[in-house]
Amino acid sequence: MRKAALAERIPDAATRRGRLDALRRMVKEHRDEIARAIDADFGGRPAQETEILEVVPVLGAIRHARSHVARWMRDERRAPSLAFRGGRAWVRHEPLGVVGIVSPWNFPLYLCLGPLVDALAAGNRAMIKPSELTPRFSELLADLIDQAFAPDEVAVIKGDVDVARAFTALPFDHLVFTGSTTVGRHVMRAAAENLTPVTLELGGKSPAIVTEGYSLDDAAQAIAQGKFLNAGQICIAPDYALVPVGQEEALARAVLAAAEKSYPAYFAARDYASIITERHRTRLENAVAEAEQAGARVLRAQGAWGGRMPPTVVIGAPDQGVLMTEEIFGPVLPIVPYGDLDDALTFVNRRDRPLALYAFARDRTTQRRILDGAISGGVTLNGTIAHIAQENLPFGGVGASGMGAYHGRDGFRRLSHARSVFRPGPIDAFALLRPPFGRFAEFAIRTFGR
């Protein structure tokens, strides 16, 4: 790939669009196979959920990049510094070379092809390491990529954790990793050996703050949708909800009512995803049991869940328990009361900076107060999840929830080298400052050194 990247150092817009077209055809022609493979890996995941949360966003990202890549590639003119007026300055956004992409199991299509879209738009080659927890999808993806691309354009590397370690130790020109904060630290250490720059999309405990006077029913519907899609196995799912003191019970009941409405009786087994493995489910059940033994109230959605873990709400989870110290990554929502908004913001800020924040507030003053008062990777106001679907917004974390952002133009720039170029004008001021220094040097120092 390195040799191929050097041989075709700056692919033109037509070449980049051609590769994006190949990716689009691959996804569109095999979307049913992709959904079936993911369903099999999960032991039950609705095809509609795969379409809505993975296929449609990938196709949207491709369409957006294809439409704008020629404009993104244009040289960006900059004004020369005052002493060098008459010259010309500009920035070229050039391919980095070979990009490594390590993708997780929870959205196996979107979280490997999303970064790939940006890598291809930026003119790079790419190697993908999908998760070993989705073996059927990984096998299918490797076959489809082999059919759609030359081996020196895009390649898929399958394997277990040892293969992933070897993969992240390769001297990529950039490495994109999506996964847990714990593994992200190991990835960053491995990349540091080669001085490989990284984009880390991690996770954390993303809060939902419901403010005084906001409709609990409206907030509950949005929180339930963001929390129980993919059975809560979403890096930006609401991890816990903060609500004014005395409203915990009402919000809990409203969240469960919204879940029961979304997944009624027979449809729950069809429309509600499974937990990826028994190990993951056992961890979740143990975390809920720990909270219950510590005195928390546990409420579960009623209905026929086909053996799957039902939507669960926990009131009074201990502050030092698993539910309040670790990213939950499942259909369990702790609800925490707060006295006033400053208390809520303090509660959020005592923890690591989250990947997402959700604020439910009618007036802009309160919305601004929350935005100013708490840090997060991204925000959706009066809703959940939707900020990730905006191609014109960067997506990324901050602090323990990640570094770097991609999507659309921001992804193109993240995976490009911003190369500065300066061309002197007819009078080269810098050339006139060669020693031996004389009157012109003294004049320049007095003029520009103020």
pLDDT digits (tens, 9 = 90+) for 424-436: 999 888 888 889 8
Active site residues: 201, 235
Q: What is the pLDDT of residue 432?
A: 82
- Amino acid identity of residue 114, one-letter, is G
Cα(331)–Cα(329) distance, integer angstroms: 7
Residues in CB range of 57: below 8 A, 6 or more apart:
110, 114, 388, 389
Q: What is the pLDDT of residue 440?
A: 84
What's the pTM? 0.94
Q: What is the pLDDT of residue 443?
A: 86
User: Cα 295 to the chain's mean position, in Å?
Assistant: 35
Q: What is the pLDDT of residue 107?
A: 97
Q: What is the pLDDT of residue 423?
A: 95
Which regions of the chain are under pLDDT 50? Answer: none
- Amino acid identity of residue 437, one-letter, is F
Sheet holding 207-210, edge to edge: 297-300, 312-315, 332-338, 240-244, 207-210, 356-360, 378-381
Q: What is the pLDDT of residue 365?
A: 97
What one-character-per-residue DSSP string does 286-308 give?
HHHHHHHHTT-EEEE--S--TTS
| Residue where the block lists tokens 């429309």 | 271
Q: What is the pLDDT of residue 370?
A: 98
